[in-house]
Amino acid sequence: MTEVGTITLTDNVTGKTLTLPLLEGSTGPRVVDIRKLYAATGYFTYDPGFTSTAACDSAITYIDGDEGVLLHRGYAIADLADNCDFLEVCHLLLNGELPNAEEKVDFARTITYHTMVHEQLARFYSGFRRDAHPMAIMCGVVGALSSFYHDSTDIFDPVQRKIAAHRLIAKMPTMAAMAYKYTAGQPFMYPRNDLSYAENFLYMTFGTPCEPYKVNPILSKAMEKIFILHADHEQNASTSTVRLAGSSHANPFACIASGIAALWGPAHGGANEAVLKMLEEIGSVERIPEFIARAKDKNDSFRLMGFGHRVYKNYDPRAKIMRETCYEVLGTLGIKDEPHLAIAMELEKIALSDPYFVEKKLYPNVDFYSGIILKAMGFPTSMFTVLFAVARTVGWISQWKEMIEDPAQKIGRPRQLFTGHPARDFVPLDKR
The CATH code of domain 2-54 reads 2.20.28.60
| Domain ranges, ordered by start, for the chain | 2-54, 86-411
Percent of the chain with pLDDT over 90: 72
Q: What is the mean pLDDT of the chain?
A: 92
Residue 288: CB atoms within 10 A of its CB come to 17
Look up the pTM and report it: 0.91
| Domain 86-411, CATH class in plain words | mainly alpha
The secondary structure element, H or E, covering residue 88 is helix 86-95
Would you place residue 146 in the very low, low, confident or very high pLDDT band (cuts 50, 70, 90)? very high
**DSSP output for 395-420:** HHHHHHHHHHT-TT-----------S
The whole-number average pLDDT for the span 201-216 is 95
Would you place residue 419 in the very low, low, confident or very high pLDDT band (cuts 50, 70, 90)? very high
Give whole-number Cα distances, 53 to 271, 301, 357, 389, in Å: 24, 29, 29, 25
pLDDT at position 245: 97
Would you place residue 361 in the very low, low, confident or very high pLDDT band (cuts 50, 70, 90)? confident
Dihedral in degrees, nearest 10, Cα atoms 134, 136, 141, 142: 100
What are the E-state strand segments in 110-156?
none
> Which are the catalytic amino acids?
309, 367
Whether 400 and 255 have beta carbons less than 8 Å apart is answered as yes
pLDDT at position 301: 86
For the cut 90, the answer to whether the pLDDT of residue 19 exceeds it is: yes
Whether 72 and 93 have beta carbons less than 8 Å apart is answered as yes
For the cut 90, the answer to whether the pLDDT of residue 111 exceeds it is: yes
Give whole-number Cα distances, 159 to 110, 254, 255, in Å: 14, 18, 18
For the cut 80, the answer to whether the pLDDT of residue 315 exceeds it is: no
pLDDT at position 236: 93
pLDDT at position 342: 83
Nearest to 215 by CA among 180, 186, 231, 191: 191
The total number of residues written for the chain in this structure? 432
For the cut 80, the answer to whether the pLDDT of residue 271 exceeds it is: no
Nearest to 381 by CA among 285, 257, 292, 275: 275
Which is higher by pLDDT, 319 or 258? 258
Whether 223 and 198 have beta carbons less than 8 Å apart is answered as yes
